[in-house]
A and B are shown apart, each in its own frame.
Chain A
Amino acid sequence: MNRMLLLAAMMLASAAAHAGNEVQVTIKSFAFGPDSIEVPAGTTVVWVNKDNEPHTVVSDGKLFHSEALDTDERFSVTFDKPGTYGYFCTLHPHMTGKVVVSGK
């Protein structure tokens, strides 16, 4: 029964990802992983901090700006317009990443 539920959950998650609804970027060891993602317009990108150190997610052009995320805290942005969005951690600016948004 548990296995069935798990399978169903996995299928839902998979379907959600394919529909371009939500994609996760993990912050770990002072790096965004993956540091570059390509998603269709309408996708929500969720950053989760798995470090024991706060980080921020701030777009190069200040289009989005998270608060400092402590361990396990999340920040999400929904990308509606195609384009390339570079971002970095304003606490550790050597940490950079980008989101490439394609048309639907």
Chain B
Amino acid sequence: MKDHDISRRGVLSCMAWGSAGVLWTMAGGVPVASVLAAGGDKMNKAGAFSFVQISDTHIGFAKDANPDTGLTTRAGIDLINRTAADAALVLHTGDVTHLSRTGEFDQAAELLKGLKPTELHVVPGEHDVLDSTQTNFFDRYGAASKRKGYYSFDHHGVHFIALVNVMEFKPGGQGRLGSEQMEWLEDDLKGRSASQPIVIFTHIPLWLYEGWGWSTEDWPQAMSYLKRFGSVTVLNGHIHQVVQKVEGTVSHYAAASTAYPQPKPGEGAGPGPVTVPAENLRSVLGIRRIETLPIKISDSSLA
């Protein structure tokens, strides 16, 4: 439990509740969240493991901001294979493809086959369900959820929840989970021990910035089911940049894309691909490794 060494790391703030706490520390300038689980709980028995997040590969996109997203996605996969080959699983947080086309999904599947960690979980981004029947995504990644997109599973004592917030949009709205998924979530969490760590992975941020639709409008209701849990980690994509935000016991982590960057929330005319000099592109793209027990999140650029 060497990560309990608070003074060495320079703690920004510390919150504690029940039997668990979260430490925000600065390691090399990058904030790192560490879940401090008290002795004897599920995580300690289960032991440490790591997993990986890859996001917004946008296979099929080929414009100035990145003429070859296949190449940069392959670079992301190579980085995972070099630095996280032992990861227990890989989470893809959506926008696998740019336009939901069959050829794009085929290319993405071919690339993702190259991952050394073989357990892959995928939630759809809005770019993955553009075809009117939405079969391209669900034929490939719908089995675990019976084609609903949302599902949960346990791994090493951690409860993983895949949420879909790109299929229930309303005019003028944000990302939305919708009532059917909300009922499922309430049921999924019912009776679960509050000390079990929860990891939610989804596409659009659940709580970030409403101005560009970078938030989820019915998240507060979901939050009401989750607030009794000691440790909730949200991993999302959509905004193509690393952003972290803390909401009580819930920590939100937006991830980088392997395709192209987007502006900071609210900066400039609107969201969308940002073109950087070609030699700098890989420094603004990345993948993420998450180590648990304790939870450590490290974002790595491709350069």
Which A residues fall within an 8 A CB radius of B? 29-31, 51-54, 56, 60, 67-68, 70-71, 86-88, 90-94, 96
Whether a CB of chain A sits under 8 angstroms from the CB of B178 is no
**What residue in chain B is nearest A68 (Cβ atoms)?**
B130
Question: What chain A residues lie within 8 Å of B174 (beta carbons)?
Answer: 93-94
Whether a CB of chain A sits under 8 angstroms from the CB of B99 is yes
A29-B64 Cα distance, complex, nearest whole Å: 16
Question: Once the chains bind, are B272 and A53 in contact (CB under 8 Å)?
Answer: yes
Q: How many A-B residue pairs have CB under 8 A?
A: 61
| Chain B residues bordering chain A, tally (CB within 8 A) | 25
Question: What chain A residues lie within 8 Å of B271 (beta carbons)?
Answer: 30, 53, 92
Task: Give the contacting residue for A88; candidates B65, B99, B172; CB below 8 A.
Answer: B172
A16-B126 Cα distance, complex, nearest whole Å: 37
Task: Give the contacting residue for B99; candidates A30, A68, A87, A93; CB below 8 A.
Answer: A68
A2-B99 Cα distance, complex, nearest whole Å: 40
Report B207-265 residues with CB < 8 Å from chain A CB.
Answer: 210-213
Question: Once the chains bind, are B64 and A52 in contact (CB under 8 Å)?
Answer: yes
Residue interface mask B118-134, A partner, CB < 8 A = 1: 00000000110010100
A88-B213 Cα distance, complex, nearest whole Å: 13
Question: Once the chains bind, are A53 and B273 in contact (CB under 8 Å)?
Answer: yes
The 13 sampled A-B contact pairs (Cβ below 8 Å) are A30-B269, A30-B270, A51-B272, A53-B271, A53-B272, A53-B273, A54-B127, A67-B130, A91-B126, A93-B169, A93-B173, A94-B212, A96-B172
A68-B136 Cα distance, complex, nearest whole Å: 15
Whether a CB of chain A sits under 8 angstroms from the CB of B100 is yes
Question: Once the chains bind, are A54 and B64 in contact (CB under 8 Å)?
Answer: no
Whether a CB of chain A sits under 8 angstroms from the CB of B170 is yes
Question: Once the chains bind, are B171 and A70 in contact (CB under 8 Å)?
Answer: no
Question: Once the chains bind, are B272 and A30 in contact (CB under 8 Å)?
Answer: yes
How distant is B90 from chain A, measured CB to nearest CB, in Å? 25
Question: Once the chains bind, are A52 and B213 in contact (CB under 8 Å)?
Answer: no
A73-B170 Cα distance, complex, nearest whole Å: 23
**What residue in chain B is nearest A31 (Cβ atoms)?**
B270
A54-B37 Cα distance, complex, nearest whole Å: 44
A53-B100 Cα distance, complex, nearest whole Å: 13
A11-B99 Cα distance, complex, nearest whole Å: 38
Q: A68-B99, A93-B171, A93-B173 are in contact. List 9 more A-B contacts (CB 8 A).
A: A29-B269, A29-B270, A29-B272, A30-B270, A52-B63, A71-B63, A92-B271, A93-B174, A94-B212
A91-B169 Cα distance, complex, nearest whole Å: 8
How distant is B294 from chain A, measured CB to nearest CB, in Å? 37
Task: Give the contacting residue for A52; candidates B65, B170, B212; CB below 8 A.
Answer: B65
Which of A68, A71, A88: most chain B Cβ within 10 A?
A68
Whether a CB of chain A sits under 8 angstroms from the CB of B98 is yes
A94-B171 Cα distance, complex, nearest whole Å: 7
